Amino acid sequence: MPQPTPSDSGLSRRLGDFSTLPEALSYAAKGQTGLNVYSGRGDLLETLSWGALRDQAVLVAQRLLGAGLRRGDRVGLVATADGEFARLFLACQLAGLIPAPLPLPLAFGGRDTYVDHLSRMAAAAHASALIVPPNLLSWFPAAESLGLRLLLSPAQLAEQPGGSVPLQPTTPDEIGYLQFSSGSTRFPLGVAVTQKALMANLHGITASGLQVRGSDRTVSWLPLYHDMGLVGFFLAPLASQMSLDWMPTAEFARRPLEWLRLISRNRGTLSYAPSFGYELCVRRLRNAPPPEELDLSCWRGAGLGGDMIRPHHLRAFSEAFSSVGFRSTAFVPSYGMAEATLALSFAPLDQGMRTDEVDLDRLENEGIAAAPEPGHRSRSFVLCGPPLPGHVIEARDEAGQVLPDRHVGRLFASGPSLMLGYDGRPDETAQALSADGWLDTGDLGYRLGGEVVITGRAKDLIIVNGRNIWPQDLEWTVEHAASRAGEVAAFTVEFDPDTGLEELIVLVEARTSEAQSRQELLDEAASAIRQVHGLEGRVILVPPGSLPHTSSGKLSRSRSRQLYQAGAFKMTAAEALPG
């Protein structure tokens, strides 16, 4: 029976202090650690030391070049959570090719939609080749019709001649890969990350953010076409000689507790998830105690990122799994984005999730995160720690002036991890990245004692009579007040073009089909919004699972708005409450 790679590499630990990823791979290849691929039922399917993976990647690199690709060509890779993707991605690094990880079909509405989306992404990346799993190959038209030189599966690539084609990996200033953003208001943009920026971020993550130690081991189900999965839980373990245990994202969604079993069985110490990942584990317990075989006392870094952090779900997780050794101090809130390679800030280790309770009335009306006043509503935000060394995060007002602590503004970041730009999109790059190296993150937040606090996305902000209202506040209020509610999306739409007046729309996934229960859900949702936020709006029930998400799993309010305006969510008079 195969055994996973050990947690001890046998090497002197180096924490991302390399000039390029191929250099990091060459060092990790000298040790015993590596990659282990698991099924959704916990079966070990493939185990590869970093050394074996490097040897295999060399052969694949030579085949890519032997098939006619040239240094600097772009290669679209469908990001499966297995050894095939790892070999292909690293082969591109060794051959001087530029890989562009692409999503699996899970987040799309069908075959045609998926093929169209992937074809457009490949075109946006100016890809010369597209490599897809064998079960998807028949979905695509001929390579020539897609503007590609090569369209093939990994098995077909293995039939290509290789030989002794010389390998010339990229240099520090060259593009290492393209990371497509998971944007929902526009077609995803290809973030161009140089080797130098990648290694700066990997060093910051492993040396400062997570402070990797000799016994550390990583476990992940995060998608590899998303920056948190690719950089945080593939490239960071490689660059710090850790072993990595992978399970597919789709399998996690079906069996979330297998994630925890994998951590327990292999004594994983570092693993990340968005808030909904922890929430799904709690829901899967169905009010029962956690499985007796779990022992989560080894988990020292339970990371949080990828979306707005929801404190109540994390408290519920901590309470549910404390009996099997989970410590609330293991939570590590962090902040980042693909445009910064991945990470910008980490909360201090061993302190858990810390929150700042603020006066919601003053926040909405004055943009100041002050302590709650008597009789006022309050809201807790999670502290995401100080910026990584060499990085700076500022909150600025509309005039571009830096704001003092506790004043909410648009967040700007600078540092060695920032992207080169949006590949082939100079106008979009100029809008996001200034000539002097400051990135407009598109997020709103404030600084507090050297740490950053995120309040939401600027594009999602709802403005009503001068009040700045965060949509997630409305959504969480409904979810908390209405027991039959699933996910919720809140946004505004213009209903009077002459005056510019907007109407609040709240889409609520209904877990019930019974008429009286649906009416009670409508009443509960509308009443909660009215009482807690003093707002009137239109509440519409939609089928479970119908609210759209980005490829990284986030709720897409922008896409929800587009679907609503296109008439995708039909309603009857009994299922809408006009404001």
pLDDT in tens, 485-512: 778 999 888 766 655 578 889 999 988 8
Residues 260-270 pLDDT 10s: 999 999 999 99
Least confident of 251-265, 308-322, 538-552: 538-552
Q: What is the pLDDT of residue 579?
A: 42
Task: Indicate the domain borders of the chain.
Answer: 21-31+46-245, 354-458, 462-577
When pLDDT is cut at 50, 70 and 90, the band that residue 428 belongs to is very high
How far is residue 334's CA from residue 306's CA, in Å, rounded to a whole number? 9
Residue 571 has pLDDT above 60, yes or no: no
How far is residue 185's CA from residue 91's CA, in Å, rounded to a whole number? 33
How far is residue 490's CA from residue 377's CA, in Å, rounded to a whole number? 19
Q: Summarize the confidence of residues 44-71 as an average pLDDT.
A: 95
Q: Summarize the confidence of residues 120-125 as an average pLDDT.
A: 92
Residue 246 has pLDDT above 70, yes or no: yes
CATH architecture of the region 462-577: 2-Layer Sandwich (3.30)
When pLDDT is cut at 50, 70 and 90, the band that residue 572 belongs to is very low
DSSP 5: P
Q: What number does CATH give the domain 21-31+46-245? A: 3.40.50.12780
Residue 185 has pLDDT above 80, yes or no: no
Which residues, in sequence order, are CB contacts of 430 under 8 Å at separation 6+? none
Confirm if 200 and 240 have CB atoms less than 8 A apart: no
CATH class entry, domain 354-458: mainly beta
Task: Give percent of the chain with pLDDT exceeding 90.
Answer: 67
Q: Summarize the confidence of residues 37-62 as an average pLDDT.
A: 96
- In three-state secondary structure terms, 69 is coil
Q: What is the pLDDT of residue 537?
A: 84
The structure tokens listed for 271 are 């693993």
Residue 227 has pLDDT above 70, yes or no: yes
Q: What is the pLDDT of residue 117?
A: 87
How far is residue 279's CA from residue 553's CA, in Å, rounded to a whole number? 13
Q: Is 466 exposed, middle or buried (0-12, 13-18, 19+ CB in 10 A)?
A: exposed
How far is residue 188's CA from residue 428's CA, in Å, rounded to a whole number? 12
Please state the separation of Cα 426 from the chain's center in Å: 25
Only one residue has tokens 């402070």, namely 211
- Domains 354-458 and 462-577 agree in fold: no
For 297-334, give the DSSP string: TT--EEEE-SS---HHHHHHHHHHHGGGT--GGGEEEE
The 3-state secondary structure of 387-420, one letter per residue? ECCCCEEEEECCCCCECCCCECEEEEEECCCCCC
How far is residue 511's CA from residue 541's CA, in Å, rounded to a whole number? 10
Q: What is the pLDDT of residue 577?
A: 45
> What angle do the packed helices 21-28 and 195-203 form, to 10 degrees?
50
Residue 163 has pLDDT above 80, yes or no: no
Q: Summarize the confidence of residues 131-153 as an average pLDDT.
A: 92
How far is residue 467's CA from residue 504's CA, in Å, rounded to a whole number? 13
Residues 288-341 pLDDT 10s: 899 989 999 999 999 998 778 889 889 999 999 999 999 999 999 999 999 999
Residue 576 has pLDDT above 80, yes or no: no
Residue 108 has pLDDT above 70, yes or no: no
Stronger pLDDT, 55 or 512, i.e. the higher one: 55
Q: What is the pLDDT of residue 451?
A: 98
The structure tokens listed for 83 are 């050894």
Element (H, E) at 68: none
Average pLDDT, the chain: 91
Q: What is the pLDDT of residue 447?
A: 98
